[in-house]
């Protein structure tokens, strides 16, 4: 079981941005997204299912290595979607 540190439980690097990072406005630089426990469970399930799908690809091939996950954060709808993505 992961142990919480000062920084949290962990994180990950972003492969790319859509739209391009240079096209972002000057502010905000950070968006803090807070979800309820029940919604966090749904997000966890969505991530797990997407990871299972991505894991089925052959990582020895170029196509398999270019698979990843996209988190779409709809600020107007207050929703997060998890999708398979090409890096």
Instruction: State the pLDDT at residue 75.
Output: 80
pLDDT of 2 > 60? The answer is no
Range of the domain at 44: 37-86
55 in any annotated domain: yes
Q: How far apart are CA 2 and CA 11, in angstroms?
A: 12
Read off the pLDDT of each residue in 22-50 and give the average, rounded to a whole number.
Answer: 86
22 in any annotated domain: no
46 in any annotated domain: yes
Instruction: State the pLDDT at residue 32.
Output: 83
12 in any annotated domain: no
**Residues in a beta bridge with 84:** 69
Burial of 54 (0-12, 13-18, 19+ CB in 10 A): middle
Question: How many separate domains does the chain show?
Answer: 1
The structure's pTM equals 0.76
pLDDT of 35 > 60? The answer is yes
24 in any annotated domain: no
pLDDT of 25 > 70? The answer is yes
| H-helix segments, 6-56 | 37-55
């Amino acid at each position: 079981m992961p142990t919480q540190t000062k920084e949290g439980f962990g994180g990950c690097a972003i492969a790319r941005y859509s739209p391009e990072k240079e096209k972002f406005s000057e502010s905000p630089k950070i968006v803090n997204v807070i979800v309820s426990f029940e919604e966090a469970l749904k997000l966890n399930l969505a991530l797990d299912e997407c990871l299972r799908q991505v894991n089925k690809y052959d990582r020895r091939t170029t196509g398999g290595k270019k698979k990843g996950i996209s988190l779409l954060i709809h600020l107007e709808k207050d929703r997060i979607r998890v999708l398979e993505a090409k890096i």
